[in-house]
Homo-oligomer: A and B are copies of this chain.
Amino acid sequence: MTPPSKDLPSYQDVGVHAVTGTSAVELPSALTCTGVSARRLKNGAFNGGVAAATSSEFFKSKSLWKPLAKKWDHRLSEESKARKASSLKGAAKYLATPGLISLGGGLPSSDYFPFEHIEIRVPTVGQFSEAETKLTGQNIKIGKHDVPEGKSAFDLAISLNYGQGTGSAQLLRFVTEHTEIVHNPPYQDWQCIIDVGSTSGLDMLYRIFCERGDHVISEEYTFATAVETAAPLGVKFLGVKIDSEGLIPEDLDQLLVNWDEKARGGRKPFVLYTVPSGQNPTGSTQGKVRREEIYKVAQKHDLLIIEDEPYYFLQMQPYTGPNAPPAPLPATHDEFLNSLVPSLLKMDVDGRVIRMDSFSKVISPGARIGWITASSQICERFVRHCEVSTQNPAGFSQVILHRLLDEHWGHTGYLDWLIFIRKEYTQRRDIILQACEKYLPKELASWTPPAAGMFHWIKIAVEKHPDFGKRKVVEIEDDVFQASVKECVLMSPGSWFAAEKEVEHTQLFFRATFAAAAGSDMTEAIRRFSIALKKVFKWEESN
């Protein structure tokens, strides 16, 4: 087996079989957008019938030169180890018998699905705005029997029946290809499993790996729902210090090196939960080197990394300041993909990263569709869990997303959409930054321009408060929060996002989102927040 040459371009679609000596060696052949149709042809017949068993293995490059993922048996929870494959689903193997009539499974007949078709009106590639979609969008009809009628790879008769815990073959093919195009994981046996969104995915991952009394490590400020999902399971979060690039690897290492099982009341942690890009709430983005350092610490302490990346494609154009023209958009798909900080998954030679992707921030939350990418062992445990809980995402969502992403836009059109979305969020971020520069007193408020995501994290110089040292920081925080509401603006207090709830809070932050409000509203909101802040701090411009 020959390792890949470092000189080979990152995104190539070779598909060449070289012969070295007497054994056939398959060269690295990472998928590109343009290689997708050839790959599909090469992979042969597609099985996407009702509740068809499927796997990413059917849709990936064969890359036998890559290492296999590590095994994680020693990390599985009692619950997960005990979970067996469904006996009824085991009977599915007989369904391939030619001429067999099945009175086995309780799948209803599609005759009784009261939908003849559904039609979606969606943007044409390159004309993505709401206004453009009205004018130039396309109506796409999804019929009940499109597959037997040769109109599509997916239809209502299939998508609206029961499915598999993996998600449908049709959508799994798309996300597997997309994942290979963007991340091309450097180990062999990675797979994707479609879930009903990353909150559900995270709940399952905790239950697959953690026992009561365990700790999960994260940034010191983190996604509140991640903490609240873990807490009732008896799993506590531990915060690691952050800087403008997020989680500090040395602090992570020290926490683990100095772990005292008795003092801490739990075994040494082995799960790191991190949001590398546009972290919620701090908006910080780990650079490439930072990610490599974090990965090395994970290797040193044999951690599993849950890489939660809803904002990965909301990595923005660089901030050019209040009066400079915006940075130019990427000219090609390659330029776009190369402009993204490489994911932890992309550097994961061990199969220790469980990446969570989601369509919530880039298509719509109401689709309730995300996916994980992880080693086949972890994916298998995950699917077993889906089978006895969420089963699979809604068929309406799956068939609509498949028709839009796979058959209408295709991989290149989807990347164009992502470039569009990121440009829009860049503009929104710039508005809020300009408002902050205009209204917030520098002496009281400071920030790093977010490089990704939806959140702007404002540090308040709490030591400037007249009562600093006399009152608790969370009391001052609450004063600012209440004064803001009085001024008719809602900002999220930083303490809501503390990884460790019981530790006394000594810093003062507020999180503002630039995702939803209209531009002029955002500016006005920051103006109001400034008034509230100055009032609470008894601050006058002359200060």
Residues of chain A whose beta carbon lies under 8 Å from any beta carbon of chain B: 78-80, 82-84, 86-88, 91, 94-95, 97-123, 128-130, 133-134, 137, 139, 144, 159-163, 196-197, 199-200, 203, 224-225, 228-229, 231-234, 280, 360-369, 387-398, 400, 404, 417, 421, 424, 432, 454-455, 485, 488-492, 496, 512-517, 521-522, 524-526, 528-529
Contact = CB atoms under 8 A, between A and B. Distances in A.
A203 to B, nearest CB: 4
A400 B118 contact: yes
Contacts of A391: 196-197, 199-200, 368
A162 B225 contact: no
Contacts of A233: 79
Given A364-B395, A489-B101, A121 B117 contact: yes
Given A112-B421, A365-B161, A485-B94, A388 B525 contact: no
B108 A492 contact: no
Contacts of A79: 232-234
Given A199-B391, A366-B161, A366-B396, A525 B231 contact: no
Given A104-B513, A116-B130, A118-B118, A80 B492 contact: no
Nearest to A361: B108
A116 B134 contact: yes
Contacts of A129: 111
A516 B366 contact: no
Q: Which 3 A-B pairs have the closest CB atoms?
A: A366-B395, A160-B366, A394-B394
A512 B104 CA distance: 6
Given A390-B196, A397-B396, A492 B104 contact: yes
A394 B366 contact: yes
Nearest to A201: B389
Contacts of A368: 196, 390-395
Contact of A364 (B160, B229, B366, B421): B160
Given A159-B366, A388-B203, A396-B400, A115 B121 contact: yes
Given A130-B111, A365-B162, A496-B88, A103 B389 contact: no
A516 B233 CA distance: 40
Contact of A417 (B103, B114, B360, B387): B114
A160 B94 contact: no
A515 B421 CA distance: 45
Contacts of A119: 118-121, 139
A309 to B, nearest CB: 15
B107 A515 contact: yes
B513 A82 contact: no
B112 A122 contact: no
B491 A108 contact: no
A100 to B, nearest CB: 5
Contacts of A524: 101
Given A87-B224, A103-B489, A103-B512, A108 B454 contact: yes
